[in-house]
Amino acid sequence: MRFAEVSGSRVREEGTLKLAVPRGALFEGTLDLLDRVGVETGELRGESRSLVFVAGGLVLVTMRPSDVPTYVEAGAADLGITGKDVLLEQSDRAVYELLDLGYGACRLVVAGRKDDQSLGEAERRLGSVRIATKYPRIATRHFEQSGRQAEVVEVKGSVELAPLVGLADGIVDLVDTGRTLEQNALEVREEITRCTARLVANRVAHKLRAAEVDALTERIKGAVRR
């Protein structure tokens, strides 16, 4: 098997295409899309603890959505599916964004406590706000681009906790229905952007295996339109 190694990306020039499949919130939507493309996903929907599957002429590698750009950039997967929020947070990853897949729609927002003016008061009194988030780069860019100062605190767990116990004045987080915010007495103050699932490709594979990548992309594009 031959490999092409370009700028840290090690891509197979032959063999079965590898697609990185996101576990978590995008998993079911991704499997539904693959079914429409003609890729059998029964084994992935089962109770198997395997991380790698062969189906529909593809090797499907399952992983956390946040890991997809890493694997695709390095050439460990030729293509991958992840959320736009991940791509915005990891904007330094050298991958091509090929398609907006439409599912997994949600919003990246700034939120604060209901009926609480801490966000505005901190900005007026201190000239800065403290924001807790799993998206430190997105949060920093948002406040810089709007001409405001923010001390951004990165958290890994339930970000909604931060304003409730005084760690932060507000949060930047991904919101679907808004139910989690409501249950924690939080409310949306600003919308940063809307996010959906995206198809991305390794830059070298996109060139060296253009016919295969383009063919799969067209199949997926057709399935998205249905």
CATH topology of domain 106-194: D-Maltodextrin-Binding Protein; domain 2 (3.40.190)
How does pLDDT run across 72-89, given as a tens digit for each residue? Answer: 999 999 999 999 999 999
| Residues constituting the chain | 226
Contact yes or no for 175/106 (Cβ under 8 A): yes
Integer Cα distance of 203 and 8 in angstroms: 11
* Model confidence at 3: pLDDT above 80: no
Please check the confidence at residue 220 and state whether its pLDDT lies above 80: yes
Angle at 203 between CA 199 and CA 206, to 5 degrees: 75
pTM of the model: 0.89
For residue range 156-180, what is the model confidence (pLDDT) as tens digits?
999 999 999 999 999 999 999 999 9
Contact 104, 33 (CB under 8 A): no
**Domain 3-105+196-225: CATH architecture, name and number where available:** 3-Layer(aba) Sandwich (3.40)
Q: In CATH terms, are 3-105+196-225 and 106-194 the same topology?
A: yes
Distance CA 141, CA 208 (A): 34
For the chain, the domains span: 3-105+196-225, 106-194
